[in-house]
Amino acid sequence: EPEVTQTPSHQVTQMGQEVILRCVPISNHLYFYWYRQILGQKVEFLVSFYNNEISEKSEIFDDQFSVERPDGSNFTLKIRSTKLEDSAMYFCASSPDANYGYTFGSGTRLTVV
Amino acid sequence: QKEVEQDPGPLSVPEGAIVSLNCTYSNSAFQYFMWYRQYSRKGPELLMYTYSSGNKEDGRFTAQVDKSSKYISLFIRDSQPSDSATYLCAMKDAGGTSYGKLTFGQGTILTVHP
């Protein structure tokens, strides 16, 4: 069964550093998403991406964050100048259509120290 | 009022029991309703996907949506220890500026003991 692949599975970074989280969505999917889950809290929407541009973003997704699809397969989330409160599981997801169930990756656990 | 409310549990049942999981919501624009299962430190896995009101069955799982009451349910029949996980409800509206943003519930932790 096709899956969404995320790397790395765990990233530890120092406060103030930049991190890039990587995702390979399912190949024939057109919509891409990033969500995050702080330990013990809800899964929260960050951003959706379609047709090579951001289609929607949440209040969390401020200038510290950016997304990119640098080639036909990868989808990245960059977090500049990380803060302690950015520590969370970050999930990438993709879907063939906006009105369809998503497939989530296994996540990247980001720890900011 | 929270947009999506879900009792976090935990819920503990014996093997073979029927499990009922529920969510309520306040946003009447929600049209698409999903249930995800999440094992510890893993990503959410889509279990059920329904549009608008009604029932949907898939094996041991039945999803129900009552839009008039803003209430959705997931039933698990003949529960197994392997069903032990966190169950997340999620929903989205049909259009406008929404490109698929899901709003999740808190998740219900389920343990099925042998």
Is the per-residue pLDDT at A36 higher than 70? yes
Is the per-residue pLDDT at A73 higher than 90? no
Residues in chain B: 114
pLDDT digits (tens, 9 = 90+) for B53-80: 889 999 999 999 999 999 999 999 999 9
- The answer to whether the Cβ–Cβ distance between B44 and A106 falls below 8 Å is no
pLDDT, residue A110, reads 98
- The answer to whether the Cβ–Cβ distance between A100 and B105 falls below 8 Å is no
d(CA B51, CA A96): 16
Chain A residues closer than 8 Å to B104 by CB? 42-44
Higher pLDDT, B98 or B4: B4
- The 3-state DSSP class for residue A44 equals strand
pLDDT, residue B96, reads 55
Across A68-73, average pLDDT? 87
Residue of B nearest to A102 (CA): B46
Do A57 and A40 touch, CB atoms closer than 8 A? Answer: no
Lowest mean pLDDT among A96-100, B17-21, B31-35: A96-100
Q: Across all residues in chain A, what is the average pLDDT? A: 94
Chain A residues closer than 8 Å to B92 by CB? 99
Is the per-residue pLDDT at B81 higher than 60? yes
Closest CB to B100 among A98, A104, A105? A98
The three-point CA angle A89-A62-A82 to 5° equals 50
d(CA B90, CA A26): 21
pLDDT, residue A62, reads 94
- In sign, the C-alpha dihedral spanning B49, B55, B56, B60 is positive
In eight-state DSSP terms, residue B68 is: T
Across B106-113, average pLDDT? 96
Cα separation values, B34 from A102, A108, B69, B87, Å:
10, 23, 17, 10
Q: Which of B2, B45, B4, B1 is nearest to B23 (CA)?
A: B4
Instruction: Please give, rounded to a whole number of angstroms, the shortest distance from the CA of B3 to a CA of chain A.
Output: 12
d(CA A31, CA A8): 22
- The answer to whether the Cβ–Cβ distance between B94 and A99 falls below 8 Å is yes
